[in-house]
Amino acid sequence: MQLALFGGVYNNWLALESAIHDARQRGAEQLFCLGDMGAFGPHPDRVFPLLHDHNVICIQGNYDDSIGNDLSDCQCGYTDPRDNYFAQISYEYTYEHTSPANRAWLRDLPKEHRLEADGLKMLLCHGSPRQTNEFLWESTTSTHFLDSLADDFNADVIFATHSGIHWQRRLDHGRRFVNVGVLGRPENDGRTCVWYTLARTGSDVSTDSDDPRLEIEFVPVEYDFARLAAEMRAESLPEEFVETICAGWWTTCLEVLPAKERRRGRF
């Protein structure tokens, strides 16, 4: 089986469109999105038809919970006043430009999705299986903590997003944790591409894979970022957001980055 897993879309409907096309071309049988449809980018309502038309199975992120339930902020958990200032701009823009029907749809999304693929119990969540807005960064998450999550939530593979940078960790008993990355913005590495994840099981696993039961491939997606930037400017979204899309470096929401991840970025 081959599954495609998308992380936060953050209104980047152009990247979502490219990722769907790419995943289909590579033969993904089912597409999933792990939540946070809104934030950051332009035209929230352009995201939903793509998700519906391509039968993307979606779960709810903290942003979706906030927008769907008319909350006053995105529940991203930022502590820095500057980060909160920018987060609030994008939250209010997204809320105002999401139709009531789409808000209701976001409200009713499930918090997790479970499936079994070729004997592997997979758990799809947003931040972590225990809390939607928990950041699981590669450099601040011990392996035995992830083992405890896999035990507590009875999963062979846990897929999450939320933090914005893809990574994976092999756990005991052949289990795996995978952060699938996000489609919404680049990964703070000076590149303009965004990332999604392909998971192959059973007969779809390549012969050269060192794990015959599960193969994870992180896929870079090139898309028309210049068009996205133009649309963001036309919507009067902050130039700081546009800069991230065009240059690939995060300019906001930096305070929550741990040392190793922060050091790799420019700001």
Partner 1 sequence: MVATHDTSDLDAAPVLVGQEVTSDSGPAPRVTLSHLDELWFQVSGTLCNLECTHCFISCSPRNDSFGYLTLTEVERSLEESVRHGVKEYYFTGGEPFLNRDILPILEKTLEYGPATVLTNGTVLKPEWLERLRAAEDRSLYSLEFRVSIDGPTPETNDPIRGPRTFERAMKGVELLCRHGFLPIITMTRTWPDEHDAEVLGQFRKVLAEHGCNRPRLKVLPRLKIGAEQQRTCGYTDTERVTQQMMADYDESQLVCSHSRIVTSKGVYVCPILIEEPDARMGNTLDEALGPNPLRHGACFTCYLYGSICTNPSSSKRE
Binding residues for partner 1, per CB under 8 A? 75, 77-81, 127, 130-131, 133-135, 137-145, 147-149, 151, 254-263, 267
Closest distance to partner 1 from the beta carbon of 134 (Å):
5
Q: Are 21 and 50 in contact (CB under 8 A)?
A: no
Phi, psi of 212, deg, nearest 5: -70, -10
Nearer residue to partner 1 within complex by CB, 85 or 206? 85
Closest distance to partner 1 from the beta carbon of 124 (Å):
19
Nearer residue to partner 1 within complex by CB, 7 or 127? 127
Closest distance to partner 1 from the beta carbon of 246 (Å):
21
> What secondary structure does DSSP assign to 107-155, as a single string?
HT--S-EEEEETTEEEEE-SS-SS-TT----GGG--HHHHHHHHHHTT-
Nearer residue to partner 1 within complex by CB, 77 or 202? 77
Taking the alpha carbons of 48, 103, 192, 197 in that order, is the dihedral positive or negative?
negative
Nearer residue to partner 1 within complex by CB, 10 or 135? 135
Nearer residue to partner 1 within complex by CB, 21 or 260? 260
**Cα angle value 4/182/40 (rounded, 5°):** 140
DSSP state at residue 255: T
Nearer residue to partner 1 within complex by CB, 148 or 154? 148
Closest distance to partner 1 from the beta carbon of 195 (Å):
20
List, as own/partner pairs, every contact residues 216-221 make where C-beta atoms lie below 8 angstroms and the sequence separation is at least 24, other chains included. 216/168, 216/176, 216/178, 218/166, 218/181, 219/19, 219/22, 219/23, 219/26, 219/195, 220/191, 220/193, 220/194, 220/195, 221/15, 221/18, 221/19, 221/22, 221/183, 221/193, 221/194, 221/195, 221/196
Closest distance to partner 1 from the beta carbon of 261 (Å):
8
DSSP state at residue 235: T
Closest distance to partner 1 from the beta carbon of 202 (Å):
29
Tokens of 129: 């299986």
Nearer residue to partner 1 within complex by CB, 11 or 66? 66
Closest distance to partner 1 from the beta carbon of 32 (Å):
23
Closest distance to partner 1 from the beta carbon of 100 (Å):
26
Nearer residue to partner 1 within complex by CB, 77 or 220? 77
Identify the H or E element spanning 262: helix 259-264
